[in-house]
Structures are given as C-alpha cells and as structure tokens.
Structure 1
C-alpha cells in the first residue's frame, strides 16, 4: 500500500473484489517521451520538474516507517464551509463554460493567509474573465466542443495528470506545450484538454490551480477549443471536508471524519480558507469518466466505476446525484471506492482494463491517481535522487497510460498529447 492516499481505517487502496492482482508484480511497460515542442517562444524548458514542497519530505513526516496510521485532529476554530450555503448561489449555464459569480464576493478575513507565496495581490476576489460570444441556441445540435467547419478536423487532444496544488509547475508545463502564453492565457486555438483530476492537497496553491483551469475552460471555448476536467478522489475529499467537516463517518475501523482524512492526505488550510461558492459549484459538476477519441479517461486506476453504472452517463449521473442528495456515509463510501488503485498492474491488469473498455467503450485507458514511481517500483532510487519520469507510462499490454508523474514526490507534472505511441 502506498502512502499517497490514506484515510482512517484498514481499507486498502487496491481495486476491490473484481480483480486482486499481486501488488508485488510490477507492470511491464515503457515510458513515452514526447518530442520537444517546436516553435515554443521563451527560454529553454527544464525537462524534469522537481519540487520539495509537500513531496517526499511531507510523506516522511506524515507516514512514519512504522506503518502505523495516525489520527489527525483539526484545529477547533478551523473554518468550515457548508455545501448548502454555496450550492445554488450561482445559476448553472448550459454548455461547457464554467459557472462564474455574478458579482465579486466579499473580501476574506485577515487570517486568510495573506502571505501565501503564490497568492497575488487582489486574489481575494474570484477571477473575472471574458466568456466569449453568447451561448448557442439550446435547440441547436450540441457537440463536445465547437463543431469543426467543412473539412476541418477537431483540434489536438491533450491530457494533464495530477496537479495537487503545484500551480507554477502546471503553468510551466502548459506553456512548454504551447497551450498558454507567457501571461497564462489560452493560446492553443481549437486544441482540447482534459485534466484528470486531483487539483488540490499537498502542494502550495490548490485554489490557484482550480482558478486557472476555470479560466482556461472559458478562454478555450471562446477560441473554439475545449478544456474540461474529471473529478478525482481528492475533489471528493476536499468537497467532503468543506461540507461535512468533523461530522463522523462510518469507517470499517471505527469513526473518522472527512476533515481528519483530508488533513491526513495533505489538505492545506489556506485552500479551505479560500474555497468559495463558485469553486464548489464547478467541482461538484465535474464528470467522473469520459470518452474522447477512443481514450477512456479516468482519474483512478480502479474498476470501482463499474459499481456506479453500465454507461458513462449512468456513472456520472450516479456520482452527481450522490453529491447532491446523499449523506455523509454515502459520500465517504464514494471517496473510499475512488481511492482504490493498481487494478491494471500485474498479470490480471489487462483483464481489468478490458472489463472497463468493454463496458464504457474506447480502445485504451488514460488515468492519473497512482504515481508512476509507485506504479513501477522506482520510488526509492539507490542514489537518493528524485525519481526520473521522462513521460507517461504505457503498460497493461499497451492498454493503459499512466499520467501521474509524481509531482508531490519530486517527480514531474505531466502534460501529454494523445495518442501516446
């Protein structure tokens, strides 16, 4: 069991009853290292992004070598946010542009971490961005992105692995790929991007990451492109901490809470302090699963999605209904299921991949969640150096692509154009 995602209780983050691969059997696969981006304006880009904030040192501090779980208690005065207070504070709009507030929200209180390194002056207010042309007629044919003109193919497709609050690393990698300009605005025209989830926790600026993705979603739509995101297990955990706080949940090892589990898994108080209604509304509507150009996009390398429906709309509707109507124990169970991992490792891995592909469609799975260094067993280098992650990892008989480069453990934040060959 890796220390990457832990919560009070003995639930193991393997993939449940469908497939029980031997986790000591490492997957046979290959790294994919894309060609350097051409025509990229700016200074040369460092191939590896290493960061110590919340990475290997964080894991060493919070998961001792004795392997014992440790209960984390939240501060008594930690500010909590009620989902009921925020959901519905802004109307939902059709299409793929994010819901933005109609007016600026009140300034945060003085204790809202004004000295945070990545929080620029004026960040107390939600972002204000151009939304582009008016939304189309609802009766008109809909497309997952603006319809191409005659003979015009859709734009290239990119995926982004787990970010976990590493905003500057994300900006650097997106710019390296030519997807944003030097000011951080969309510069990729009709390109399409899918973020695979896990925007927050462990890193320095999770809310900044969410703000950037929401901004790019609007700017891409205005340019004829497409920017969307999946819901990861850390989105479920973050929303649960905001909604339920210290309310007890029924864990198989006894009573725990979302807030305690969130802190145990690298939750940053300044992210919770800055969480606002438009963030909650946007995060709560993220899909759990998607199919794009034959790629089945998931956050977690688990078969637990099969427990929520036999089609992509069924799975997404089930998760959204749960987040809208169900109680704390149902939320906890959903978080627990989507925290499972390693279904595609070992001899049984290709069978698990085929089970998902046969149910939901597609020819290959692309996922985040499990850091590649853990997936391949390269987490501990003999020389003590950070793991070398040249690119996405293709495994399970070439049926699965892992995109979590382990940025939290001084690896790399990955952005890749699909297909990965």
Structure 2
C-alpha cells in the first residue's frame, strides 16, 4: 500500500475481485507536457513545494499533534506510527523519450472581467479542463489556474464559458483544505454567472473528512478490528485546523458532490478502481446510491464506501485495459480520467536515486491510452496538474 492512503485494517489497495493485476507490472504509458520548459520554476518559484514533504513528511513525522476538536474528545491514534514504503519497482525503460504535446494554451482571446453579462443561448460551450488532487495546496492551485488563464490575479473566474471539473480530494496533508473548498465554491458561482461551470467529484478524502466530522471516534467494524473515522483521517494527513473551520455550508456542498461524471466522452472518476460498478449500472444510479448512503446510512456503511473508493491501481498491468473497458461499457465514454493514485506510484518513480523530487511533466496516459492519470503527487513534492481535455 502506498503511504498516500492508509486506514486501519488489511484493506487491499487494488480494485478487488474483478481484477487482480500484478502490481509489480508497471503501466506502459506516456507523459504529456502542459507547459514550456522552465515553466514550473517561473510560475511557482524554486521553493514552492519545499515546505511540506508530503508522503516523506508522513513517513518521518506522523502522527502530527494538534488541539483536540471542540466536539470530540480526541487522542492521537496509533502513537509512534511508522508507515513503511513498499519496495520500489524498477522503472520502465521505454527507449526514446516519449513524444510530448501541448495540452492547450490559455484562452487565446481575452475574457471580460467578472461579473459577466448573461451568455446568449446560441453561444457554444467552452473548453473543458480537469484538475487533479489538491490536498490543501491552495497557493499551488491558484498559481496553476492562473497560468491556464482560468482565474485572474485576484483569484476570480476569468475563463468565460469554460468548464472545469475537479477530480476530488480537496483536503488533508496540505496547509489549507478549507481554503481550497472555499475557492472552488466561489469559482462555481462565478463560472455559472459567466455561462461556464466549475464542478467537482467526491474523492475518498471527502468521504473520510465528512466521516471524521460526523462520527468522530465512533467505532467502525474494520476487518482488522475496531477503528474510527477520526483515527483513519489523522493517519491520512487530516489537519485539525481544517476540521475546526468546517461549517454547515461546507458539509452540505461536499455531501452533494457526484462520484462520477461523463463530459465530452471522458469518464471522470476520482479513484482508479472498478468499485463504482458495485454502486449502480448507470452514472445517475451510482451518484444516487452514494448520496443516499451519506444521507441515511450508518457509520459502517460510510466506512465501507470509503474503503471501496480508496482502492487503486485497477488500470495497471495487463488487466488494466479490460478494467477500463468495464467502466466505459457501463457508463459510456471513450477514456477514463482519474486522480487518486499519484503518478510517481503508477510509474514506479517515487524516489530518485539522488533524492530529488519526482519529475512530473504532465498527466500520464496509460492502459492502452484508455486512462489519464491526473494526480501529479503535489503532496510528495510533485506537481498539481490542471489539463485541458482532450489530451
């Protein structure tokens, strides 16, 4: 299991009984670079990702200490917990450098400042963008959205009728998860006024965060014994200041996020798992099932949903394309776009021999070009990815 998602119990990180690919077989894929050479340093500065060590920080310093939440009498779970990394697979050697293309420049035409006039009924839809896992890295998110021309210097929507989908995991590990949620909610309102939209999927960390807020230390039945949402949330980088700042309107918004969506032939998911098929045979069925569960079911049902959507790596190895086809056959689309599994883990390049951060030039295309991975590993000194579709 990667240190990116941990919870008590020997829950398996792969996609379950439908496919059991050999996780030592790395996917054969291609990077696509979304920026000209030298962009990262110019846009972010050389120190952007040095403050938080992401996965390495968790390995060295977890559990973090903090003030107890004013609702739950909390104690840090598993004191002295020392997560271990899996053996690093050998990197795939693909011969010549793979070809790279631009994902799409910022909007060529200047857009009016917010607020916009109401769009005309015959105006075409705007370009489609996806955003990978943010995990509380608010300033990195602002910088990338600004680079793509999607927000202005003041952080307001600047993309006209463009469409954006966030792929989930707004909180945990990074410095300002609630700030990320507030920004996305703000952009959703501003985009709607411009005739575009900004929408988001529910990730496994949304389920975990909501579970920690609702159930706290209430026991859940894990296969390894009793655990709790609060303990699992802490183990997965939960930040006490995010929980302290969580308000009713955040909970309402997060609870209504869809789990799956289809846009322009792209099947948008948070997790690279086939577990969605266990919740319905259509996109509305899946989303309704998750919403009904969050509205009415108890702690064990929430825990099971979190556990299923924390599975990963279904699209790796020889069985990966078949797993993608199962989802596409059920829900439509010609390609899956997902977050959840950091690209350095997918490609086996977690740690360079010289200790340098992983190099993530752009989204990773694999599983016979059927899957696009969008988690650039911002929590492990990688990169927060925003890409224009299609790639």
Task: Provide the secondary structure at the position in 2 that maps to 1:208.
Answer: helix
Contact kept? 1:105, 1:125, Cα under 8 Å? no
Q: Can you give the 5+ residue segments of structure 1 that lack an aligned partner in the other structure?
A: 73-88, 107-116
Q: What CA distance in whole angstroms lies between the structure 2 residues aligned with 1:95 and 1:290?
A: 40
Following TM superposition, by how much is the alpha carbon of 1:52 offset from its aligned partner in structure 2, in angstroms?
A: 3.7
Q: Deviation at 1:67?
A: 24
Report the Cα offset of residue 142 of structure 1: 26
The TM-score with structure 2 as length reference comes to 0.83
Contact 1:49–1:413, Cα closer than 8 Å, also in 2: no
Corresponding pairs, count: 388
Note if 1:266 corresponds to 2:237: yes
Shift in Å, 1:153: 2.4
Whole-angstrom CA distance in 1 between matches of 2:383 and 2:3: 18
Cα deviation for residue 66 of structure 1 reads 22
1:41 is paired with a residue whose SS is helix
Contact 1:101/1:126 (8 A) holds in 2? no
RMSD of aligned Cα (Å): 12.9
Asked if structure 2 preserves the Cα contact closer than 8 Å seen for 1:164 and 1:198, the reply is yes
For residues 168 and 275 of structure 2, the distance between their equivalents in structure 1, rounded to whole angstroms, comes to: 16
Q: Match for residue 34 of structure 1?
A: 34
Deviation per residue, 1:73-110 (Å, 9 max, x gap):
xxxxxxxxxxxxxxxx999999999999999999xxxx
Q: How many Å apart are 1:12 and its aligned residue?
A: 1.4
CA distance in 2: counterparts of 1:91 and 1:264, whole angstroms = 9
Q: TM-score when scaled to structure 1?
A: 0.77
- Other-structure match for 1:49: 48
Conserved 8 A contact 2:53-2:381:
no
Displacement after TM superposition at 1:50 (Å): 2.7
Deviations 1:196-219 (Å, cap 9, x if unpaired)? 000000000000000000000000
Identify the residue that residue 168 of structure 2 maps to in structure 1: 197
Deviations 1:224-279 (A, max 9, x none): 11100000000000000000000000000000000000000000000000000000
8 A contact 2:342–2:376 mirrored in 1: yes
Alignment check: 8 A CA contact 1:201 1:234 kept: yes
Matching residue of 2:107? 135
For the 8 Å contact 2:150–2:158, the answer to whether it is kept is yes
Structure 1 residue 152: deviation in Å?
A: 3.5
Aligned counterpart in structure 2 of residue 287 of structure 1, from 258, 264, 274: 258
Q: What is the CA-CA distance between 1:163 and the residue it aligns to? A: 0.2
Cα deviation 1:173-214 (Å, max 9, x = unaligned) = 000100001110000010000000000000000000000000
Q: List per-residue Cα deviations over 1:287-309 (Å, max 9, x = no partner).
A: 00000000000000000000000
Q: 1:411 to 1:127 in 2, by over 3 A?
A: closer
Are the structure 2 counterparts of residues 143 and 166 from structure 1 closer, same or farther at C-alpha, using a change threshold of 3 Å?
A: closer
CA distance in 2, matches of 1:246, 1:94: 16
SS in 1 for 2:39: coil
Q: What do the CA deviations read for 1:337-358 (whole angstroms, capped 9, x no partner)? A: 0000000000000000000000
Question: How far off its partner does 1:53 sit?
Answer: 1.3
Distance 2:288 2:101 in 1: 29
Distance 1:248 1:221, change over 3 A: same
Q: Distance in 2 between matches of 1:278 and 1:145?
A: 25
Shift of 1:34: 2.2
Unaligned runs of 5+ in 2: none
1:48 and 1:406, CA in 2 relative to 1: closer, same or farther beyond 3 A? farther
SS in 1 for 2:16: coil
Contact 2:106/2:148 (CA < 8 Å) preserved in 1? no
Q: Are the aligned partners of 2:32 and 2:102 in contact in 1 as well (CA < 8 Å)? A: no
Deviation at 1:130, TM superposition (A): 34
How far apart are the structure 1 equivalents of 2:187 and 2:88?
A: 20
